[in-house]
């Protein structure tokens, strides 16, 4: 095993030496290799929760009625435009015409009806069924017009339709999308070499503006050392969410690369099992929150890339309230709270999934908790094990995870969600929010929701994950921010 | 078989004249001393994080520099030595404690079904890739120093069982064993009183080698995250932590790497030296 790290060192040295060889001039390239940390379990965004699925297919392969732009704005996609009725209940979408699926079949309103009905059906395996919960009916008016009627007004309906889980699929091919995805996007599926890469090819019949790249390869390199070496050697052209923030300074110093720092929707939290004693006691949860020094975690685990948060909300969102002071680092108060709760000799399990923010952050948090007298038993788990044991089995005390879905504060209203909060008052706020269409009212409710979960110390809110990526300096058009898990390649091109 | 006092002294003198043994012993003793010292004193608390002091290069304040959390590397190496040595010691102890009686028993009942079952069982464990077995055990029972000890201990058992049986078989044909049997001693007693003392030298030499292999195995398990768990420092995990930082802070990989190399080298040299010293033929050739 020491041999492995020596080999890694040798590779890094080799890679460094390559840096001094001048690169020969190339004509503008039309292919790009993108590094990703996790391999998607399948390629069907309507049938899986994994962010890695959307990171391959979102906007590239599949499209929805609407879509997210790089800044998080909701833009038209397959729907050219839409009309909303006065009461906010009826959305009439005017679809683009001449759109074809990759298998050659035509896209029309029937496909929209099929996709939405399929996603909201009882037997649907969609990971975000709540997005479709308010749809009462979907009607085909004519092949280019579809009318969606809601059971109650929903201010975020167009936003919901932009999610990767709401993409439009064809009835003939929907069942095979997991391994042979067929969408309407500017890229079509090439091949998937399991454990290595997914290749996408330019769709010559794309209805919209043609893309510049002819071929995009997503390579799955989870090992940070290997990722560093692959970037340095030019095997990868970009790694939008680079797994080793410690290497970014080296990339920044190298003119061949550009370091891209943006924001993500990743609220990174120390999740607590709210139903498991003694964590069912708010004082204990508050004590844990006060024991944590967020800045130390950001500096130590992420080399400074991250923004402290005090609630489960993205700081770049206009409705964000800064509540970090409410759970400020205060070990003395933490000890006092533990004494008040009558808890001593506390040992909690801390299960850490693979990303370095969790593994390194976990070690720092363990040390910080030790300072106030809480012992932790750290277990490193793989993602599959985390999903099974923590997310589904709820067999944990503490865990660190980044919630990367946009506007996902609604998860706190779910009874069966892994941290088991499901407070009735919070659910009431979320119910009001779902009915509210007035922007000011919505902001007010979102802020109330943020305060509620901060007051209840549901979880310890750590930081907003930064999107720290690296790309070849000549590769332009990559997303800076990450409003949804995606590697949108539609606007990417090589500078001559 | 007790050795005379004069014999002990001559052995000691020869040991001091054996350069490999002296160097090996000195290196091993150095790390044992560091490990023992770590119980009472380390320059810094090896589990105390000081993010502000992270990735410092070696200096007078931090002899081996600091790691990515600002922990003092020298203190971590000291405590890591304790973990490595403790794991290796107990693991080799398990190997000797289980393997030697099994091997002796198999030799005493040579050719019988019991002999076959014991030795083929050992072959089975021996044939299984040892590190894979260790990973399997720690994966099933959870990572941790105790499970690492058990895992490493288990694959030490067949090593000692085979060695003990092989050596004991040769002794069973000797006249002094025959004499003991004629005197009415049972097989178990003969094994314990006559066979074991005569194969002790072999076991010590093999034990030294196994000790160094156990330290490597512990580092390997810790490297993949299955050894001693944080906050307890461990050489293997220090190497794993250093991996992504190798171009930024090479000292983070160098020092634990050197610690492993030096300890293993020391134990191997010592083992070689002991083998020479214990070998009667070589001893006669030298004196």
Q: Locate tokens 């800044």: which residue?
A: A71
Bin B140: left if φ > 0, else alpha if -120 < ψ < 50, else beta. alpha
A interface test, pick of B246, B250, B253 with most A CB neighbours within 10 Å: B246
pTM over 0.95: no
* ipTM of this complex: 0.71
Residues from chain A contacting residue B224 (CB–CB below 8 Å): 1
Distances from the Cα of A136 to the Cα of A147, A167, A195, B167, B281, angstroms? 11, 18, 41, 83, 94
The sign of the dihedral angle between the CA atoms of A309, A313, A316, A317 is negative
**Paired residues of A67 in beta bridges:** A75
Q: What superfamily does domain A64-171 belong to in CATH?
A: Dipeptide-binding Protein; Domain 1 (3.90.76.10)
The Cα B52–Cα B64 span in angstroms is 17
Q: Give domain limits for chain A.
A: 64-171, 266-465
**Number of other residues whose CB lies within 10 A of the CB of residue A311:** 26
H or E stretch including A269? strand A257-272
Q: How far is A355 from chain B (nearest CA, A)?
A: 13
**Paired residues of A347 in beta bridges:** A375
For residue B6, name the pLDDT band (cuts at 50, 70, 90).
low
Evaluate whether B79 touches B44 at the Cβ level (below 8 Å): no
Contact A5 B47 (CB under 8 A): no
The predicted structure's pLDDT at residue B282: 57
Contact A300 B69 (CB under 8 A): yes
Q: How far is B130 from chain A (nearest CA, A)?
A: 13
Question: Which segments of chain B does DSSP mark as H helices, in order?
Answer: 5-16, 19-40, 73-108, 113-127, 130-141, 145-154, 157-172, 175-182, 187-190, 196-223, 235-242, 251-278, 280-286
Q: Is A123 helix (H, G, I), strand (E, B) or coil?
A: coil
Contact A2 B257 (CB under 8 A): yes
Contact B243 A296 (CB under 8 A): no
Distances from the Cα of A231 to the Cα of A197, A237, A239, A267, A494, angstroms? 16, 7, 8, 27, 16
Q: Is A149 helix (H, G, I), strand (E, B) or coil?
A: strand
At B24, list the tokens: 């090996």
Q: Is A226 on the interface with B (CB under 8 A)?
A: no
Evaluate whether A302 touches A355 at the Cβ level (below 8 Å): no
**Paired residues of A92 in beta bridges:** A83, A147
Which residues lie below 8 Å from residue A321, measured CB to CB, with a gap of 6+?
A311, A313, A447, A450, A451
CA–centroid distance for B245 within its chain: 30
The predicted structure's pLDDT at residue A225: 85
Evaluate whether A290 touches A329 at the Cβ level (below 8 Å): yes
A interface test, pick of B48, B49, B227 with most A CB neighbours within 10 Å: B49
Nearest CA in chain A to B260: A2
The predicted structure's pLDDT at residue B137: 80
The Cα A333–Cα A339 span in angstroms is 10
Residues from chain B contacting residue A6 (CB–CB below 8 Å): 257
The Cα A148–Cα A169 span in angstroms is 17
The predicted structure's pLDDT at residue A220: 95
Residue A210 sits at the vertex; the CA angle it makes with A208 and A215, to the nearest 5 degrees, is 130
Contact A5 B242 (CB under 8 A): yes
Q: Give residue-wise pLDDT tens across range B15-48.
A: 788 888 999 999 999 999 999 999 998 888 888 8
Evaluate whether B157 touches B122 at the Cβ level (below 8 Å): yes
The predicted structure's pLDDT at residue B4: 57
The Cα A455–Cα A323 span in angstroms is 9
The Cα B61–Cα A262 span in angstroms is 38
The predicted structure's pLDDT at residue A13: 47
Contact B223 A4 (CB under 8 A): yes
**Paired residues of A269 in beta bridges:** A401, A461
Q: How far is B143 from chain A (nearest CA, A)?
A: 7
Which residues lie below 8 Å from residue A193, measured CB to CB, with a gap of 6+?
A199
Low-confidence ranges of chain A (pLDDT < 70): 1-27
Q: How far is A379 from chain B (nearest CA, A)?
A: 7
Contact B49 A380 (CB under 8 A): no
CATH architecture entry for A266-465: Roll (3.10)
The predicted structure's pLDDT at residue A70: 84
**Paired residues of A138 in beta bridges:** A148
The Cα A4–Cα B266 span in angstroms is 22
Distances from the Cα of A306 to the Cα of A13, A296, B24, angstroms? 29, 11, 49
Evaluate whether A128 touches A163 at the Cβ level (below 8 Å): yes
Nearest CA in chain A to B235: A2
Over its C-alpha atoms, chain A yields an Rg (Å, rounded) of 23
Nearest neighbour of B247 by CB, restricted to A16, A360, A378: A16
Residues from chain A contacting residue B48 (CB–CB below 8 Å): 367
The Cα A359–Cα A228 span in angstroms is 19
Q: Give residue-wise pLDDT tens across range B101-135.
A: 999 999 998 889 999 999 999 998 888 887 787 77
Residues from chain A contacting residue B134 (CB–CB below 8 Å): none
Q: How far is A51 from chain B (nearest CA, A)?
A: 24
CB-defined contacts A:B, below 8 A:
90
Nearest neighbour of B244 by CB, restricted to A2, A246, A380: A246
Chain A stretch 387-446, residues whose beta carbon is closer than 8 A to a beta carbon of chain B: none
Q: How far is A12 from chain B (nearest CA, A)?
A: 7
The beta strands (E) that lie in A16-134 are given as 31-36, 66-68, 74-76, 79-84, 90-95
Contact A225 B244 (CB under 8 A): yes
Evaluate whether B201 touches B244 at the Cβ level (below 8 Å): no
Helices B19-40, B5-16: inter-axial angle, 10-degree rounding? 90
At B247, list the tokens: 């171009």
Nearest neighbour of B253 by CB, restricted to A9, A300, A378: A9
At A496, list the tokens: 């001559």
The Cα B163–Cα B62 span in angstroms is 45
Residues from chain A contacting residue B231 (CB–CB below 8 Å): 363, 366-367, 370
């Amino acid at each position: 095993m020491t041999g492995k790290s020596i080999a890694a060192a040798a590779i890094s040295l080799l890679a460094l030496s390559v840096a001094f060889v001048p690169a020969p001039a190339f004509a503008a390239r039309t292919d790009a290799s993108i590094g990703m940390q996790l391999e998607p379990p399948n390629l069907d965004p309507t049938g899986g929760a994994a962010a890695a699925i959307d990171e391959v297919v979102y906007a590239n392969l599949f499209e929805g009625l609407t879509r997210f732009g790089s800044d998080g704005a909701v833009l038209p996609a397959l729907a050219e435009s839409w009309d909303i009725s006065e009461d906010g209940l009826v959305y009439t979408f005017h679809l683009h015409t001449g759109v074809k699926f990759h298998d050659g079949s035509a896209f029309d309103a029937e496909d929209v009806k099929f996709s939405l009905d399929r996603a909201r059906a009882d037997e649907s395996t969609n990971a975000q069924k709540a997005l479709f919960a308010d749809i009462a009916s979907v009607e085909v008016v004519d092949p280019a017009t579809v009318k969606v009627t809601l059971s109650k007004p929903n201010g975020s309906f167009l936003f919901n339709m932009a999610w990767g889980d709401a993409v439009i699929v064809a009835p003939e091919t929907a069942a095979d999308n997991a391994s042979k995805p067929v969408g309407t996007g500017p890229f079509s599926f090439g091949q998937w070499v399991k454990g290595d890469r997914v290749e996408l090819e330019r769709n010559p019949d794309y209805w919209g503006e043609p893309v510049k790249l002819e071929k995009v390869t997503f390579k799955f390199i989870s090992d940070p050392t290997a990722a560093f070496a692959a970037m340095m050697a030019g095997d990868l052209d970009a790694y939008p969410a680079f797994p080793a923030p410690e290497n970014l300074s080296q990339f920044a110093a190298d003119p061949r690369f550009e370091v891209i720092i943006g924001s993500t929707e990743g609220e990174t939290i120390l999740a607590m099992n709210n139903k498991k004693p003694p964590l069912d006691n708010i004082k204990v949860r508050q004590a844990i929150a006060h024991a944590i020094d967020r800045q130390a975690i950001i500096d130590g685990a992420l080399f400074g890339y991250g923004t402290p948060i005090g609630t489960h909300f993205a700081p770049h969102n206009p409705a964000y309230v800064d509540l970090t002071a409410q759970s400020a680092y205060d070990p003395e108060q933490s000890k006092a709270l533990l004494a008040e709760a009558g808890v001593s000799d506390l040992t909690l399990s801390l299960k850490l999934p693979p990303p370095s923010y969790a593994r390194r952050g976990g070690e720092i948090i363990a040390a910080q908790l030790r300072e106030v007298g809480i012992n932790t038993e750290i277990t490193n788990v793989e993602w599959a094990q985390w999903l099974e044991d923590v997310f589904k089995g709820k067999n944990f005390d503490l865990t660190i995870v980044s919630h990367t879905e946009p506007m996902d504060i609604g998860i706190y209203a779910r009874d069966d969600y892994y941290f088991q909060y499901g407070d009735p008052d919070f659910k009431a706020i979320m119910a009001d929010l779902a009915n509210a269409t007035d922007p000011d009212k919505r902001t007010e409710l979102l802020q109330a929701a943020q305060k509620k979960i901060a007051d209840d110390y549901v979880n310890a809110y750590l930081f907003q994950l930064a999107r720290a990526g690296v790309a070849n300096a000549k590769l332009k058009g990559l997303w800076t921010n990450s409003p949804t898990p995606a590697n949108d390649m539609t606007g990417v091109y090589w500078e001559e | 078989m007790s050795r005379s006092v004069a014999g002990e002294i001559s052995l000691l003198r020869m040991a001091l004249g054996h350069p490999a043994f002296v160097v090996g012993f000195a290196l091993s003793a150095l790390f044992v001393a560091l490990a023992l010292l770590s119980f009472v004193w380390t320059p810094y608390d090896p589990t105390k994080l000081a993010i502000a002091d992270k990735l410092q290069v070696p200096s007078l304040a931090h002899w081996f520099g600091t790691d990515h959390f600002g922990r003092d590397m020298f203190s971590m190496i000291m405590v890591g030595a304790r973990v490595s040595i403790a794991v290796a010691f107990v693991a080799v102890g398990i190997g000797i404690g289980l393997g030697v009686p099994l091997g002796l028993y198999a030799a005493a009942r040579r050719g019988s079904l019991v002999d076959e079952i014991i030795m083929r069982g050992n072959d089975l464990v021996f044939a299984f890739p040892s590190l894979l077995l260790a990973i399997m055990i720690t994966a099933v029972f959870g990572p941790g120093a105790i499970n690492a000890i058990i895992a490493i201990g288990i694959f030490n058992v067949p090593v000692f069982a085979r060695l003990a049986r092989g050596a004991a078989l040769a002794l069973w044909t000797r006249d002094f064993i025959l004499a003991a049997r004629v005197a009415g001693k049972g097989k178990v007693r003969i094994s314990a009183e006559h066979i074991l003392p005569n194969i002790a030298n072999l076991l010590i030499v093999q034990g030294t080698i196994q000790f160094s292999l156990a330290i490597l195995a512990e580092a390997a398990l810790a490297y993949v995250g299955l050894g001693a768990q944080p906050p307890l420092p461990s050489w293997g995990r220090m190497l794993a932590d250093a991996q992504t930082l190798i171009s930024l802070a090479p000292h983070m990989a160098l020092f634990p790497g050197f610690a492993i190399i030096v300890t293993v080298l020391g134990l191997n040299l010592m083992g070689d030296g002991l083998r020479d010293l214990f070998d009667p033929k070589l001893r006669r050739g030298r004196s």
